[in-house]
């Protein structure tokens, strides 16, 4: 690994909170009578909370004011946070933890680069509260992916140049953000087939072969 820093996305890379996002958005959509399914949920990967709500409301006949949208997003987030309390350190896979440990042993500095405003709560639930050298998340950005802000902040917090950092992402919008910021990228899941991704990962541990 020739990178001084590795910046990890959270949902879809380090852990799988998408099922909780789905349950919480589904309850909100059912409550207001708007159709929502797993396929629409896939479009929400890496997308901020308000942008996610706008995607869900594409199916709504009613137009919502900003105040109404804020209330809906809050309702969803309260339920989502309740669901997150089901998470424990057992939700962190041995493969993810041992791969990150090995990268640290090799002298890489590790950061988080997540769109989520709940990232610190999720890290606590996974037992990773103090693990990363830097955490950049939805609380320190104004533009969400594909804007590179979250990764640029992560590099700044690590005191490293983007060209010296590798971004690990599961979302197409995340790879686009990495490219826009001048980072090299590794894609997993649907991001592995992004046409401009530098490394396609079949498993998380493949990072050790880069
Ligand atoms: P929150 P990531 C993203 O996390 C999720 O993939 C996306 O579905 C969610 O809407 C977004 O965080 C915001 O989350 O409502 O908790 O602020 O993949 O960037 O780690
Ligand atoms: Mg993700």
Q: Is the dihedral of CA 198, 202, 204, 205 positive or negative?
A: negative
Q: Is the pLDDT of residue 186 over 90?
A: yes
pLDDT of residue 117: 96
pLDDT band at 45 (very low <50, low <70, confident <90, very high): confident
Instruction: State the distance from the centre of ligand 2 to the C-alpha of 8, rounded, in angstroms.
Output: 9
Query: What is the side-by-side order of every strand in the sheet holding 165-169?
Result: 134-136, 109-113, 5-8, 165-169, 184-187, 199-200
pLDDT of residue 113: 98
Q: Ligand nearest 144 Cα, by number?
A: 1
CB atoms within 10 A of CB 116: 23
Q: Across residues 34-58, what is the average pLDDT?
A: 94
Instruction: State the distance from the centre of ligand 2 to the C-alpha of 185, rounded, in angstroms.
Output: 13
pLDDT of residue 134: 98
Tell which atom from ligand 1 comes closest to the C-alpha of 52: 10
Q: Omega before 35 cis (within 30°)?
A: no
pLDDT of residue 34: 98
| Structural domains in the chain plus CATH codes | 5-15+90-209 (3.40.50.1000), 18-84 (1.10.150.240)
Instruction: State the distance from the centre of ligand 1 to the C-alpha of 168, rounded, in angstroms.
Output: 15
Q: Which of 59, 37, 49 is nearest to 80 (CA)?
A: 49
Q: Is the pLDDT of residue 151 over 90?
A: yes
Average pLDDT taken over every residue of the chain: 97
Tell which atom from ligand 1 comes closest to the C-alpha of 138: 17
Q: Is the dihedral of CA 137, 142, 145, 150 positive or negative?
A: negative
Pocket residues: Cβ below 6 A from ligand 1: 9-12, 21, 44-49, 52, 77, 114-118, 138
pLDDT tens, residue by residue, 83-123:
999 999 999 999 999 999 999 999 999 999 999 999 999 99
Tell which atom from ligand 1 comes closest to the C-alpha of 150: 19
- For 19, phi and psi rounded to 5 degrees? -65, -35
Q: Is the dihedral of CA 98, 195, 18, 117 positive or negative?
A: positive
The answer to whether residues 112 and 10 touch, using CB atoms and an 8 Å cutoff, is yes
Instruction: State the distance from the centre of ligand 2 to the C-alpha of 172, rounded, in angstroms.
Output: 9
Q: Is the pLDDT of residue 46 over 90?
A: no
CA–CA separation, 135 vs 70, rounded Å? Answer: 26
pLDDT of residue 1: 85
CA–CA separation, 164 vs 105, rounded Å? Answer: 18
pLDDT of residue 173: 92
**Could you list the active site residues?**
9, 11
- pTM (2 d.p.): 0.94
The answer to whether residues 116 and 139 touch, using CB atoms and an 8 Å cutoff, is no
Q: Ligand nearest 112 Cα, by number?
A: 1
């Amino acid at each position: 690994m020739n990178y001084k820093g590795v910046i990890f996305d959270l949902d879809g890379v380090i852990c799988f909170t998408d099922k909780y996002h789905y349950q919480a958005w589904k309850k909100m959509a059912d409550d207001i009578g708007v159709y929502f399914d797993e396929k629409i949920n896939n479009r929400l990967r890496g997308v901020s909370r308000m942008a996610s709500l706008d995607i869900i409301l594409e199916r709504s006949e009613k137009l919502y004011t900003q105040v109404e949208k804020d209330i809906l997003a809050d309702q969803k987030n309260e339920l989502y946070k309740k669901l997150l309390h089901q998470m424990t350190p057992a939700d962190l896979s041995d493969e993810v933890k041992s791969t990150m440990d090995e990268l640290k042993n090799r002298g890489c500095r590790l950061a988080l680069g997540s769109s989520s405003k709940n990232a610190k709560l999720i890290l606590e639930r996974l037992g990773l509260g103090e693990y990363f050298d830097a955490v950049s998340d939805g609380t320190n950005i104004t533009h969400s992916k594909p804007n590179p802000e979250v990764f640029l902040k992560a590099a700044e917090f690590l005191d490293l140049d983007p060209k010296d950092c590798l971004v690990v992402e599961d979302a197409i919008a995340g790879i686009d953000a990495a490219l826009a910021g001048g980072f090299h990228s590794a894609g997993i899941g649907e991001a592995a087939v992004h046409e401009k991704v530098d490394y396609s990962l079949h498993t998380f541990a493949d990072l050790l072969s880069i």
